[in-house]
Amino acid sequence: MNFFPFHPGDYMLRTAHLYPIEDLAYRRLIDLYYVNEAPLSGTAEELARVIRLRDHSTEVEAVLREFFAEEDGTWSHSHCDDVIDKYRAKAVTAAENGKRGGRPKKTKNEPSTNPEETHPVISANPEETGSKANQEPRTNNQEPVDQEHCAPAVSEQADLFPKFWKLYPNKKGKAAAEKAWKKLKVTDDLFNLIAQGLARQCVSPAWTKDDGQFIPHPATWLNGKRWEDEVKPTSNVHQFPPRRQCNGLDVDDLSWAEDLGGAL
């Protein structure tokens, strides 16, 4: 593979606790995974040598044990495997279309799925559109327009809250947080903004000092639209001293990285 999807916000949330050398090791390990399109083979020392970090085999081993699953001397990564499977499926489809001379052409009556394509505009000028004598009159008995397609369904909005709850480090007052979440009527675009703001604040001094004692309750954070706050950038700051317990992230969960998307 010469390309794979990468979502900075999702990656930052999942790896904010890593030391710089551990972060470098993780990036090089997943790059190697995608290049070979296969699980990694070898010991931590051997893989450290392959990714040019032979003096940091301890950090390489820590990253392997946190983000990868070992079996029979190989290290697998469930999300990388999913991305590779989708890449191969698209490659097979492209090859089959190539044998048939390219993508199948659309019929005249087949609607276009490309949002960039325009549709013919009906002019209001009778001289251009022709006579309206045969047009059926509009009555009050006509079927109403289906309003369900005009706004995101409630279930779709509710589905995004568990993803936010998993990402938020201070898990207190879940019922109040969910109530605040429903008031916001979160769409996919708004969720992206919330996640990006949360990623910046998770590594800010205000949230990392004193073991995260000053992290606001999630309902307070949502009601105040705190994801819009400006955060002074910092360097080499760890989210919390414990490695995974405080951020509550499941590294194998395909959260919004897919939708959002979420990819590592």
pLDDT tens for residues 61-105? 999 999 999 988 899 999 999 999 988 888 888 888 777 776 666
How does pLDDT run across 27-39, given as a tens digit for each residue? 999 999 999 999 9
Give me the pLDDT at residue 152, please.
46
Give the separation between CA 21 and CA 229, rounded to whole angstroms.
29
Burial label for 239, CB within 10 Å (0-12, 13-18, 19+), is buried
Domains of the chain, by residue range, sit at 8-80, 152-259
Structure confidence at residue 199 as a pLDDT band (50, 70, 90): confident
CA proximity to 249, closest of 171, 197, 196, 182: 171
DSSP annotation of 75 reads E
**Which of the two residues, 31 and 120, has the higher pLDDT score?**
31
- Residue 14 is predicted with a pLDDT of 86
- Percentage of the chain exceeding pLDDT 70: 66
- Do 227 and 196 meet the contact criterion of CB atoms below 8 Å apart? yes
Give me the phi and psi of 69, to 5 degrees please: -115, 125
Taking the whole predicted model, whether its pTM rises above 0.75 is answered as: no
Query: Is the four-CA dihedral 159, 163, 166, 171 of positive or negative sign?
Result: negative
b/e map 248-262, b = 16+ CB within 10 Å: ebeeeebbbbbebbb
Do 63 and 31 touch, CB atoms closer than 8 A? no
8 Å CB contact between 42 and 50: yes
**CB neighbourhood size of 176 (10 A):** 15
